[in-house]
Chain A
Amino acid sequence: MFDFLDSGQYDLLGAFWVTVQLTLYSAVGSLIWGTLLAGMRVSPVPLMRAFGTAYVNLVRNTPLTLVLVACSLGLGLTLGITLGGQDFKAMGFRLAVLGLVAYTGTFVCESLRSGINTVPVGQAEAARALGLSFFQVLTLIVLPQAFRSVVAPLANVLIALTKNTTVASAISVAEASALMKTMLENETSALFAVFAVFAFGFIVLTLPTGLILGWVSKRVAVKR
């Protein structure tokens, strides 16, 4: 029933490796972009606040599929922005990461902002009483505490991101779900087995993430 695994015809691990790479690059990128956005949304400069709010509300309400397809067809093919990708494959991968970062950053931003709200008012007041500037209050006092309280929500965002990398198959990045589509079309006799293998692959990717980060979130949570 599972003979298709031995046929050597499909690079199963390679496809999942692309999924993992997509997830890792996008996770790092969206963590940085999301933190920047959250910083803008709480900043004293009204224009930055307005930009942050507008960006988050616009991008969050757009389907990820549209974001990625627009990155590939719009940015890549029409406007010729390749992000330094030499061939079609590298270009697709980089544009997919760009789209995933742009989309996931909004969810990181919103999680982080709710984390900032959990930091007691007294912390920021004490910091200001010491004469720290807004930037110092944010980076030295508030964000470190906020990050510790949002590990669990960020873990959920990371799991959603892992699953969302499958959308990259819409712009022909050769990740797991693209391979599954090919295999389903070829291995018509082992439909359920193919699905089971890929479902298992994603469970292997998402389940430990949730468990490990759940444990971390309990370890680092600020006891109040």
Chain B
Amino acid sequence: MSATSVLYDTPGVRAKRRNIIYTIVFLVVLALAAWWVLAVMAEKQQLASEKWSPFVTDAKVWTTYLLPGLGETLRAAALAIVIALPLGALLGIGRLSDHAWIRVPVGAVVEFFRAIPVLLMMVFAAQLYTQYTDVSSDLRPLYAVVTGLVLYNASVMAEIVRAGILSLPRGQTDAAKAIGMRKGQTMSYVLLPQAVTAMLPALVSQLVVIVKDTALGGAILGFSELLSQGRTITANYGANTIATFAVIALIYIALNFLLTTLAGWLEQRLRQGKKSTGAVLTADDVQQASAPGRTPDGGGA
């Protein structure tokens, strides 16, 4: 915040008065907006207490719909990251290979899967499983979601791993060479262990993107995750659309806020840690490390 606070002086008497006026004007605008929203909601009977109370009084909403939905969301996210991580590590190391016949194809694969929307891969995987495998129809959405997420996130992980290895000081490689280590030994005993620590914050941030992307499966492939439970709840509790979306959004926000906080805490710990080389990699660093147009994971879905 140091650079932004220089945009204005410590307020004096007049500036303080002006700030108070701005505060009041902004408050009025916010209040008007809130009043309009509430008025529209009241008009459509979305404020009625019986539409909101089930989430507090009726434990069944949570045990039958929300919590199992959250469980499915977490299951898909966990499966995706567990499979994508080793795959991404392989791709990332492959991209750093000295041999062009490994480096170039791996690079093409990574860039391809990062350039196309994750939704396209999920829909394609769903159709592929329907046509060519005998995965039961209730497991198919989960498989499709995880496949789509793995394909996309493995290529993002590859970039994270690559940036993590490149973020280490050159002296690490030099020292490893000096004591006579081979390339594979340098990678597996010196570079990779340190890179994994350095990239932990970026990995946790990517988990937020994965959690958010699982909702795609609910909306399009009929995967019974948290968001898709909303439809069942509104059907059973009297069209409480607004209330349901508000509660589901809050669950997602709480979960992702937790992950973001964890990433920030890890980053701070690593920066202060004395044992590491001090190399830390955040999601922003990964974006900046690759040339524009090469890291389109800025938004996630």
Contact = CB atoms under 8 A, between A and B. Distances in A.
B133 interface: no
Contact of A79 (B19, B46, B117): B46
B246 to A, nearest CB: 9
The bracket for how many chain A residues form the interface is 35 or more
Interface in A42-78: 42, 44-48, 51, 57-58, 61-66, 69-70, 73-74, 77-78
Contact of A177 (B3, B6, B27, B123): B123
A202 B227 contact: no
B299 A121 contact: no
A128 B9 contact: yes
Contacts of A104: 299
Interface stretch (A9-17, A82-90, A134-142): A134-142
A160 B293 contact: no
A61 B9 contact: no
Interface string A93-125: 000000000011001000101101101010011
Interface string B106-118: 0000001001111
Nearest to B218: A65
B219 interface: yes
B292 interface: yes
Given A46-B23, A164-B117, A156 B293 contact: yes
Given A79-B41, A156-B292, A198-B120, A65 B7 contact: no
A77 B218 CA distance: 19
A49 to B, nearest CB: 9
A24 interface: no
Please indicate which of the listed interface residues A153, A159, A161 has the most CB atoms of chain B within 10 Å of its own CB.
Answer: A159
Contacts of A69: 219, 227, 230, 245
Contacts of A32: none
B292 A210 contact: yes
Interface in B52-77: none
A203 interface: yes
A153 B127 CA distance: 35
B212 interface: yes
Interface in B223-239: 227, 230, 239
B215 to A, nearest CB: 4
B29 to A, nearest CB: 10
Contacts of B112: 199, 203
B120 A180 contact: yes
Contact of A48 (B26, B46, B249, B296): B26
B26 A142 contact: no
A70 B249 contact: yes
Contacts of B216: 63, 65, 167, 170
A177 B41 CA distance: 33
A65 B292 contact: no
B284 interface: yes
B119 A167 contact: yes
B124 A209 contact: no
A44 B299 contact: no
A25 to B, nearest CB: 16
B3 A117 contact: yes
A2 to B, nearest CB: 16
Contacts of B6: 121, 124-125, 128
B131 interface: yes
A104 B211 CA distance: 17
Contact of A184 (B2, B123, B245): B123
B226 to A, nearest CB: 9
A121 B119 CA distance: 43
B230 to A, nearest CB: 8
A170 B131 contact: no
15 contacts: A41-B4, A42-B4, A62-B253, A63-B227, A63-B252, A65-B218, A70-B249, A113-B4, A163-B116, A163-B117, A163-B299, A177-B117, A202-B116, A202-B117, A207-B293
Interface of A: 41-42, 44-48, 51, 57-58, 61-66, 69-70, 73-74, 77-81, 103-104, 107, 111, 113-114, 116-117, 119, 121, 124-125, 128, 134, 137-138, 142, 151-153, 155-157, 159-161, 163-164, 166-167, 169-170, 177, 180-181, 184-185, 188, 191, 195, 198-199, 202-203, 206-207, 209-211, 213-214, 217
Closest 5 CB pairs of A and B: A210-B293, A160-B299, A214-B292, A61-B256, A170-B219
